[in-house]
């Protein structure tokens, strides 16, 4: 299906209309209580937005990544927080591309209807971080099952998910044919194993992000939970990671637009010394610079989505999109606080909440330094640095 400009514009209008039902007061309450915005996620699900990438035959909309980007961008631009639901978009990509027909038939209709949530992605570990090839969680075949032991960290929304995409080592690293072999991807039905081999421990963070540690102690899952071939999981998650970075980039563009809009409105309304502060170039120039930075990053994000949708290797584009957009949103966040002065720290303006949320994405899901290392090696041909 081709997503036309008219289609995308209609999606924007529909998402904004839904988000208008969840104003700042709703998000401030969730932030204060560190509560999951279940009502918002349910509304997104009911409207079909979280099933955007699921093919029509499984109950979804059959849209492309550019449409998913529009959805996530508009959520952020409306002042909401798409982090409560964005994993379903990019985890979905891995299931769609590499899952068996049986797995798709078993799970996709329930995910599309909202009966099931696929929100958890278990990759990072305390000792390996973004060095995915060094992860230690082991999955050992035992007849018709796998037995899994290990630990994951920064597994967000695990407490609010029914399914988890889990990456584990099935062949010891020293025995694998290459460094990228020996990792396998599983679709874990958390309803079957929570409290029965799986333990979830919440991590309280600077922003309300519902992130956790997950522990696996002799957790048994059926062999049918394996996605694709055993030992090929690392290559499977790479395309999902590219989708994740593009979608996160789109969210950052939405955040930047929110900050710029708020700063502009405040600069026009706030009067000091008998004139609006927006008359001063010291206020104008930072806002204008952030706008230019955001527009440039926006072009990169949607170019990356286009490359991905064409089926090309979007590694470089996805990484650049995520880096440029996260830097644009963080610059806009800082500018917005500065424009508001003391009021930028007041909870009722929502600036401080969005400021905290925006800070995350220059670090996660991958740090800027690793993106620069990737570009240096894979695009510029410089020696590998790690």
Q: What is the pTM of this model?
A: 0.95
pLDDT for 3 equals 64
CA–CA dist 277, 266 (Å, integer):
9
CA–CA dist 124, 153 (Å, integer):
6
Residue in this structure with the two tokens 């068996």, named with its chain if needed: 100
Residue 7: other Cβ atoms inside 10 A: 16
pLDDT for 87 equals 87
Backbone angles phi, psi at 214, to 5 degrees: -130, 130
How many angstroms from the chain centroid is the CA of residue 161? 15
CA–CA dist 77, 74 (Å, integer):
5
Cis peptide before 323 (omega within 30 of 0): no
Which CA distances in Å does 272 have to 263, 266, 336, 338, 351?
A: 15, 12, 17, 15, 20
What stretch of H or E contains 218?
Answer: strand 211-222
CA atoms within 13 A on the CB side of 211: 18
Q: Minimal CA–CA distance to 125: which of 98, 89, 149?
A: 149
Token pair listed for 327: 């830097």
Number of H helices, E strands in the chain: 12, 10
Q: Minimal CA–CA distance to 155: which of 181, 125, 185?
A: 125
Q: Give 122's strand partners.
A: 166
How many angstroms from the chain centroid is the CA of residue 263? 26
CA–CA dist 131, 142 (Å, integer):
28
Backbone angles phi, psi at 222, to 5 degrees: -65, 150
DSSP state of 170: S
Q: What is the pLDDT of residues 9-22, one digit of tens each?
A: 999 999 999 999 99
CA–CA dist 23, 337 (Å, integer):
20
How many angstroms from the chain centroid is the CA of residue 168? 21
**Per-position pLDDT tens, the chain of length 386:** 456 788 999 999 999 999 999 999 999 999 999 999 999 999 999 999 999 999 999 999 999 999 999 999 999 999 999 999 898 888 888 899 899 999 999 999 999 999 999 999 999 999 987 788 899 999 999 999 999 999 999 999 999 999 999 999 999 999 998 988 999 999 999 999 999 999 999 999 999 999 999 999 999 999 999 999 999 999 999 878 999 999 999 999 999 999 999 999 999 999 999 999 999 999 999 999 999 999 999 999 999 999 999 998 999 999 999 999 999 999 999 999 999 999 999 999 999 999 999 999 999 999 999 999 999 999 999 999 98
pLDDT for 129 equals 79
Q: Is 36 helix (H, G, I), strand (E, B) or coil?
A: coil
Q: What is the pLDDT of residues 334-348, one digit of tens each?
A: 999 999 999 999 999
b/e 303-338 (16+ beta carbons within 10 angstroms → b): ebbbbbbeeeebbbbbbbbbbbbbbbbbbbbbbbbe
């Amino acid at each position: 299906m081709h997503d036309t400009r008219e289609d995308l514009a209609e999606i924007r209008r529909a998402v904004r209309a839904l988000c208008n039902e969840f104003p700042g007061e709703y998000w401030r309450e969730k932030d204060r209580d560190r509560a999951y915005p279940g009502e918002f996620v349910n509304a997104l699900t009911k409207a079909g937005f979280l099933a955007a990438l699921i093919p029509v035959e499984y109950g979804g909309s059959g849209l492309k990544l550019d449409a998913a980007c529009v959805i996530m961008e508009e959520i952020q631009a409306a002042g909401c927080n798409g982090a409560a639901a964005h994993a379903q978009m990019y985890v979905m990509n891995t299931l769609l591309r590499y899952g068996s027909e049986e797995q798709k038939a078993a799970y996709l209709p329930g995910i599309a209807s909202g009966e099931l949530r696929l929100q958890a992605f278990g990759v990072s570990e305390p000792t390996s971080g973004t060095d995915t090839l060094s992860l230690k969680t082991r999955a050992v075949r035992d007849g018709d099952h796998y037995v899994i032991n290990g630990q994951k960290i920064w597994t967000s929304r695990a407490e609010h998910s029914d399914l988890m995409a889990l990456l584990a080592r099935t062949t010891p690293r020293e025995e694998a044919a290459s460094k990228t072999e020996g990792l396998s991807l599983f679709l874990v039905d958390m309803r079957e194993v929570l409290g029965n081999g799986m333990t979830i421990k919440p991590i309280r963070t600077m922003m309300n992000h519902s992130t956790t540690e997950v522990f696996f102690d002799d957790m048994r899952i059926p062999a049918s939970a394996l996605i694709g071939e055993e030992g090929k999981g690392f290559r499977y998650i790479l395309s999902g990671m590219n989708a994740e970075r593009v979608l996160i980039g789109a969210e950052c563009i939405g955040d930047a637009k929110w900050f710029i809009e708020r700063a502009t409105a405040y600069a026009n309304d706030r009067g000091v010394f008998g004139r609006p502060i927006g008359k001063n170039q010291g206020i104008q120039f930072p806002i204008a610079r952030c706008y230019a930075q955001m527009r440039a990053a926006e072009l990169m994000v949607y170019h990356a989505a286009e490359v991905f949708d064409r089926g090309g290797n979007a590694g470089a584009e996805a990484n650049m999109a995520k880096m440029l957009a996260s830097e644009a949103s963080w610059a806009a966040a800082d500018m917005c606080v500065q424009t508001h002065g003391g009021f930028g720290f007041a909870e009722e303006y929502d600036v401080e909440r969005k400021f905290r949320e925006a800070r995350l994405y220059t670090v996660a899901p991958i740090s800027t330094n690793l993106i620069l290392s990737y570009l240096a090696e894979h695009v510029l041909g410089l020696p590998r640095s790690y």
